[in-house]
């Protein structure tokens, strides 16, 4: 299935759902229609249990240059609300899914584009990609979860440097800081990102969902609280079909074929 809402292309390759931002003439800067289309797509994917991985990408020369500043220039307060509201709701929906989220990044990831990238579970970036949180350069703080993700990924001191200086950095630096998982030749990025997403889509989806939520909420609990959360999550996994398949495959000395259930 492939559908188009002009600014967002929604497709499917097996168990992998693809979301491609599609305003290449504006480096995929988010306008209100794109933000609303992203929210609608997130709800659609969350309701489809056959989706076992989600792959984000951008059309044209870059992943995303951030929010559309023309929207903010026309009406700063209402424009910000119209952009941020659906984006934040969409991210909350995607974070609640079991399906892992992979970002395929090239060209540039700036402002909200970088913030959005940070919400992915895995990030594969092309050589030559440039990154800039950029908000401070227009006199703004941040949105789309950057203040949540950055300190968790790179530590408070480095997060403050990235956010408050608003400087550009390259893919090698992003990988060294732990913002991305892999840097790939640009010619290989699309193929490798899809292969990575398909590998995740073949995994035990229920277990992957519990793992991504345990990791993301671990900073909010003390150790006893996290141990309780792990125990509850493990018991939930133990009721899944994939758990039984994995146990049976182990004793049969075979590789399990997980169903995502």
pLDDT tens for the 261 residues of the chain, in order: 445 569 999 999 999 999 999 999 999 999 999 999 999 999 999 999 999 999 999 999 999 999 999 999 999 999 999 999 999 999 999 999 999 999 999 999 999 999 999 999 999 999 999 999 999 999 999 999 999 999 999 999 999 999 999 999 999 999 999 999 999 999 999 999 999 999 999 999 999 999 999 999 999 999 999 999 999 999 999 999 999 999 999 999 999 999 999
pLDDT the model gives residue 2: 46
**pLDDT of res. 1:** 42
Assessment of whether the complete model's pTM goes beyond 0.85: yes
Closest by alpha carbon to 66, among 155, 166, 158, 149? 166
Buried b (16+ CB within 10 A) or exposed e, 242-255: bbebbeeeeeeeee
Q: Which two tokens stand for residue 81?
A: 């609300």
């Amino acid at each position: 299935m492939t559908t188009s809402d002009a600014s967002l292309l929604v497709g499917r390759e097996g168990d992998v759902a693809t979301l491609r931002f599609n305003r290449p003439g504006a480096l995929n800067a988010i306008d209100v229609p794109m933000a609303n289309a992203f929210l609608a797509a997130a709800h659609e994917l969350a309701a489809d249990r056959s989706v076992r991985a989600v792959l984000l990408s951008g059309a044209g020369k870059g992943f995303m240059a951030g929010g559309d500043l023309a929207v903010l220039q026309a009406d700063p307060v209402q424009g910000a609300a119209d952009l941020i509201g659906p984006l934040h709701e969409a991210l909350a929906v995607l974070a609640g899914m079991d399906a892992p989220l992979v970002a395929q990044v090239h060209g540039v990831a700036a402002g909200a584009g970088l913030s959005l990238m940070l919400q992915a579970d895995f990030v594969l970036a092309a050589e030559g990609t440039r990154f800039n949180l950029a908000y401070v350069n227009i006199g703004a703080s941040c949105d789309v979860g950057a203040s949540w993700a950055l300190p968790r990924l790179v530590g408070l001191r480095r997060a403050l440097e990235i956010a408050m200086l608003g400087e550009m950095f390259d893919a090698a630096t992003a990988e060294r800081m732990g913002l991305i998982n892999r840097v790939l030749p640009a010619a290989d990025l699309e193929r490798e990102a899809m292969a990575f997403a398909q590998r995740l889509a073949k995994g035990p989806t229920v277990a992957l969902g519990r793992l991504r939520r345990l990791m993301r909420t671990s900073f909010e609990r003390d150790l006893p609280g996290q141990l309780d959360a792990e125990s509850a999550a493990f018991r939930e996994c133990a009721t899944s079909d994939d758990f039984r398949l994995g146990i049976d495959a182990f004793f049969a000395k075979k590789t399990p074929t997980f169903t995502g259930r």
